[in-house]
Amino acid sequence: MRPILVRAGCAAALLAAGYAAVPAWAQDPGIARSLAATCTACHGTDGRSVGGVPPSLAGRDKGELLQTMKDFKTGKRPATVMHQHAKGYSDEQLELIANYFAGVTPGAAAAAPAARVNN
């Protein structure tokens, strides 16, 4: 009986966390990972930024990340480029992205290594 109860508990927790608003297919963790990966050409793999510019996203507070992206989207927060990017994503997608980066452990970024011989 116990495993069933645990599972039911998990489902309830997910619903309470607002996951019911997200389409079922988007609950695949691979979907959130791929959405977040669209950001990382600029912000570094898994949101760990080489040199910290643009800023690292790994391990930041989910609420803060989501609110910042929503403020870029509405134009409340000024930006050079982020307002143009944020407008390309639905609020549900922004939530998946914020949740993904919030769940990444902050750490050293993986920079590209120097060439062995400069040509």
Partner 1 sequence: MTLSRREFMQWMAASSGAAAVAGCAGMGGAAAGRVVVIGGGYGGATAARYIKLWAPDIDVTVVERNDAFVSCPISNLVLGGNTQIGNITMGYDGLRNRGVSIVRDDAVAVDAGARQVRLASGKTLPYDRLIVSPGIDFMYDNIPGLKSVDAQNRVLHAWKAGPQTVALRKQLEAMPDGGVFVFQFPLAPYRCPPGPYERVCQVADYFKRAKPRSKIIVLDANPDIVSKKGLFLAAWNGMYKGMIDYRPNSELRDVDVEGTTVKLAFDSVKGDVLNVVPPHGAGSIARQAGLITANQRWCGVDWLTMESVAVKGIHVLGDATLSAVAMPKSASMTNQHAKVCAAAVIALTKGRPVNPQPMMMNTCYSFVDGKNSMHVASVHAYDAAQKTMVAVKGAGGISTAASELEGTYAWGWARNIWGEALG
Q: Considering only residues 6 through 35, tell me which ones interact with partner 1, judged by CB under 8 A.
A: 23-26, 28, 30-31, 33-35
**Which two three-digit tokens encode residue 13?**
């927790």
Please report the beta strands in 52-110, taking only residues with DSSP state E, as ranges in sequence order: none
Residue corresponding to tokens 């944020």: 86
Contact between 103 and partner 1 per CB under 8 A: no
How far apart are alpha carbons 7 and 101 in whole angstroms?
25
- d(C-alpha 67, C-alpha 50), whole Å: 24
Shortest distance, position 99 Cβ to partner 1, whole Å: 16
Site string for partner 1, 62-81 (x = CB under 8 A): ------------------xx
Q: Which is nearer to partner 1, 1 or 108 (CB)?
A: 108
Write down the residue that tokens 């050409």 correspond to: 41
Only one of the segments 1-9, 11-19, 63-71, 85-93 lies at the binding site for partner 1 (rule: CB under 8 A); that segment is: 85-93
Counting contacts by CB under 8 A, is residue 116 touching partner 1?
yes
Q: Does residue 54 contact residue 43 with C-beta atoms inside 8 Å?
A: yes
Structure tokens that stand for 60 in this block: 């930041």
Residues that bind partner 1 (CB under 8 A): 23-26, 28, 30-31, 33-35, 37-45, 49-51, 53-54, 80-81, 84-90, 92-93, 109-119
